[in-house]
Each structure stands twice: as structure tokens, then as C-alpha cells.
Amino acid sequence: MAGHVVPVLFVIAAWFVSTGVVIALDRLPPRTFRWSLSAAGVVAGGGLWLARDVAADASPRGAYLGFAAALAVWGWHEMSFLMGVVTGPRTAPLPHGTTGWTRFRMAAATLIWHEIALAATALIMLVLTWGQPNQIAAITFAVLFGLRLSAKLNIFLGVPNLTVDFLPAQLAYLKSYFRVAHFNPLFPVSVAVASTAALLLAEAAAVAPAETVAGLTMLTTLVALGVLEHWFLVLPVPDAALWRWAMTSKAGQVK
């Protein structure tokens, strides 16, 4: 039982704390961004090195370190986007009345560089761990990328519960690209695919040998948290309250 419980608690704690730290740093005055992002860059570089270093370690220790490595790299990308450093060529609000393909093209232009950077990093992590027994770092990053892309597309198409509390002032223009809607056809597909993946991973973890239980359980938990975040988009749940402790600074608050 401990072989399953500890990885679950580890992922939940890492998800909760890392998200809070990123939110807190992004809400500090802009003059602090260079230092925060530089420090996060050093950590991310260490994460890439660690991902490669533990790729040959298929033990539970290797799984934990691989997951932490991916999270370190992911954190830098999140900060670079939310601080407005790596976003896209468009930094203006959506013109009133814009719909259809034009709206999608303009929305994509607000974050395309960020998406390209994420895709390139996912490829780098795959190369760094290619052919090795411990693929947790690469898979974790790919899962984060896929879940976040799904959430962005659902927000673009429209969801009932849009929370802008996390959006810093430098990205306030992104609010104009969000859409409030009771339903969009992508949402049930997103939830069904992610839920199925979580169930399949859980089944694999339940019968896995001791040395792979930790990695499979961490991936299961991560995908389950992604499903939960999708449900936050449609249910009237004040999910921002989870990270209220990290939102004390008003320097970067969206007005």
C-alpha cells in the first residue's frame, strides 16, 4: 500500500507547492522577473541534466527524480509565459466581434512561441532519455504539455467557469480571447480521453512489479489531477482558493 500512497502524496504536494510558487513569483513586481526567471532557468537546466542522469535508473528513486526533473523544467516554461517573456507575437486584445478562423489565428498568435518552446523541450527530453529504462521525466513533461494544451483549447472554445485570478497584469489582454459557454464539444472528449488514460495507468500500477510502481502511480496521479483541473473549468468551484496563500501580492493582479 505504501508503494502507492507515497507517490500519490508526492505528486499532489509537488503540484500544489510548485503551482503556488509560480503564482507567487509571477505576482511580484516586474523588476523581480529577470532574477526569478534566471534562477528558474538554472533549476530547469539542472532538471534537464537530472533527467538524462537518471534515465538509466529504473528504481523508485529514479522515478521520483525523473518526475522532479520534469517539473523543474515545466516550471521555467510556466514562469516565462506568465511573466510575458515567451508568449507570442500578438500582445493586443481581441478586436470586438472577431469570430471563427480569425479569432483562432489571433488567439494562437498570443502564445505560439510558448507552445513551440514546450514542444521543442518535450522533444529534447525524449532524446535525452531515448532507449533508457527510466522514461518518467519525458513522459511527465509530455503529459503536462498535453493536458495544458487541452485546457487551453477548452478555454478558447468556451467553458462556464473562467477563473482569471491566476492571470497576471502583463497578460490581461488574454482575457479577451477567453469565452464563457455552457458547453463545447471538445470538453467531454478531453475528459474521456484523460480519464481513460488515468484508469489504464492505475490498472498498470496495480499489477506492476515493485520497481515500477512508483513511476506508474505518479503518472496516474498527474493525469487524474489534469482531469480535476478540467472539471474546475465547468463546475462552480472556487479553485483559486487552493492557492490563495500564493496570491497575497497585488503587484501583478489583473484589474
pLDDT by 10s per residue, the chain, length 255: 567 899 999 999 999 999 999 989 988 999 999 999 999 999 999 999 999 999 999 999 999 999 999 999 999 999 999 999 999 999 999 999 999 999 999 999 999 999 999 999 999 999 999 999 999 999 999 999 999 999 999 999 999 988 777 788 889 999 999 999 999 999 999 999 999 999 999 999 999 998 899 999 999 999 999 999 999 999 887 777 777 777 765 544 544
Residue with cell 515493485: 210
With respect to residue 250, please indicate whether it lies within any of the assigned structural domains: no
With respect to residue 60, please indicate whether it lies within any of the assigned structural domains: yes
With respect to residue 8, please indicate whether it lies within any of the assigned structural domains: yes
With respect to residue 251, please indicate whether it lies within any of the assigned structural domains: no
With respect to residue 246, please indicate whether it lies within any of the assigned structural domains: no
Q: Residue 213's domain spans which residues? A: 2-239
**Residue 91: which of 115, 120, 112 has the closest Cα?**
112
pTM of this structure: 0.94
With respect to residue 248, please indicate whether it lies within any of the assigned structural domains: no
Domains contained in the chain, number? 1
With respect to residue 200, please indicate whether it lies within any of the assigned structural domains: yes
With respect to residue 178, please indicate whether it lies within any of the assigned structural domains: yes
Nine-digit cell string for 33: 522577473
DSSP 253: B
